Amino acid sequence: MPADLPPPGVVSEVATGVRRILAPNPGPMTGPGTNTYLVGQSEVAVVDPGPDEPAHLDAVAAAGGGAIRWILVTHHHSDHAPGASALAQRTGATVLGRGGAGAFRPGMTIDEGHVLRVGGSEVVALHTPGHASDHLCYLRPEDGLLFSGDHVMDGSTVVIAPPDGDMASYMDGLRRLAALPGLSAIAPGHGALITEPYRRLASYLDHRLDRERAVLHALDRMGRATVEDLVAAVYTDVPDSVHPVARFSVWAHLRKLADEGRAAASDPDDVGATWRSAR
Ligand SMILES: [Zn+2]
């Protein structure tokens, strides 16, 4: 666990007026666990309540000290959204999110550009699909702090799992975030605060472009290949345990390449399809 991440249940201040509590759900996909943030003091917006874990939600509610008015959810995944309704019951807060994916139903549906006023600050929603179709990042413009949910993480790999996950949208989202002026730090859904946001965004994009080139190169070389064949050819640098995730990534890259006319399959919606180069 990074030095910057105290154990679950401990409140730590990560930026001015922003506190973080780690949920007790570590794992291969969640790293140390889900970060729940409390933004503001006199009025508080919670970002990502995490799983429906009573001890965690009790700790978040206690840290809020009766001031939690809003619960902002980045996306519907099981490690981010399910605690929302139970935290709302504890606090009377309104649950905000984009909705439209999975089982998560926000009390108030918000979308790109929604501005929430929290105490003297503003928090702006940015629609960043790719990891999940309903994914919102939240930006505090006054100091350029970005709550990135699972679009950008620290220490673990972002999974792009079609069909709700979409590689082209994901990479567009990275470019969009990299073009935002004045980012000071990224508060990710998993891992430590990222204090060099532009460097991290650039390396994320480079990594995806490298993989895309490698997938296309392997496909050209093999002529016809399945996702499995391409994982074996391209992911030579990662342990087999990562291959289930790699399968989703390769499939997501192939679907993007198909949309661009650079690869083709009889059924891009079938993870078991045989692909060919279309160049
Ligand atoms: Zn997620």
Residuewise pLDDT in 10s, the chain (279 residues): 455 678 998 999 999 999 999 999 998 889 999 999 999 999 999 999 999 999 999 999 999 999 999 999 999 999 999 999 999 999 999 999 999 999 999 999 999 999 999 999 999 999 999 999 999 999 999 999 999 999 999 987 899 999 999 999 999 999 999 999 999 999 999 999 999 999 999 999 999 999 999 999 999 999 999 999 999 999 988 888 888 889 999 999 999 999 999 999 999 999 999 999 987
CA of 100 to the centre of ligand 1 (A): 15
Write the Ramachandran bin of 9: left for phi over 0, alpha for psi from -120 to 50, otherwise beta: left
Q: How many domains does the chain fold into?
A: 2
Q: Say if 6 falls within a structural domain.
A: no
pLDDT at 4: 65
Q: Are residues 100 and 71 in the same domain?
A: yes
Calculate ∠ Cα 265-267-269, nearest 5°.
120
Q: What is the 3-state secondary structure (H, E, C) of the chain?
A: CCCCCCCCCCCEEEECCEEEEECCCCECCCECCCEEEEECCCCEEEECCCCCCHHHHHHHHHHHCCCEEEEECCCCCCCCCCHHHHHHHHHCCEEEECCCCCCCCCCEECCCCCEEEECCEEEEEEECCCCCCCCEEEEECCCCEEEEECCCCCCCCCCCCCCCCCHHHHHHHHHHHHCCCCCCEEEECCCCCECCHHHHHHHHHHHHHHHHHHHHHHHHHHCEEEHHHHHHHHCCCCCHHHHHHHHHHHHHHHHHHHHCCCEEECCCCCCCCEEEECC
Q: Residue 66's domain is classified under what CATH number?
A: 3.60.15.10
CA of 237 to the centre of ligand 1 (A): 24
- The torsion angles phi and psi of 21, rounded to 5 degrees, stand at -130, 125
CA of 75 to the centre of ligand 1 (A): 7
Q: Say if 201 falls within a structural domain.
A: no
Question: Using CA atoms, how far apart are residues 41 and 11, in angstroms rounded to an integer?
Answer: 13
Q: Are residues 147 and 215 in the same domain?
A: no
CA of 74 to the centre of ligand 1 (A): 9
CA of 107 to the centre of ligand 1 (A): 20
Q: Say if 5 falls within a structural domain.
A: no
Q: Which of 166, 195, 224 is the last residue of a domain?
A: 195
CA of 113 to the centre of ligand 1 (A): 21
CA of 59 to the centre of ligand 1 (A): 22
HSE value, Cβ hemisphere, 13 Å, CA-based, for 211: 25
CA of 157 to the centre of ligand 1 (A): 11
Give every CB contact of residue 11 below 8 A, 6+ residues apart in sequence: 19, 20, 21, 38, 59, 63
CB neighbours (10 Å) of residue 264? 17
Query: What tokens appear for 63 in the block?
Result: 């840290």
Q: Are residues 186 and 225 in the same domain?
A: no
Query: What tokens appear for 35 in the block?
Result: 């970060």
Cis peptide before 163 (omega within 30 of 0): yes
Q: Say if 2 falls within a structural domain.
A: no
Range of the domain at 250: 206-277
CA of 152 to the centre of ligand 1 (A): 10
Question: Using CA atoms, how far apart are residues 198 and 186, in angstroms rounded to an integer?
Answer: 9
Q: Are residues 146 and 242 in the same domain?
A: no
First to last CA, the chain: 45
CA of 222 to the centre of ligand 1 (A): 33
Amino acid at the residue 123 = V
Q: Are residues 269 and 239 in the same domain?
A: yes
pLDDT at 222: 95
CA of 26 to the centre of ligand 1 (A): 14
Q: Are residues 191 and 269 in the same domain?
A: no
CA of 209 to the centre of ligand 1 (A): 21
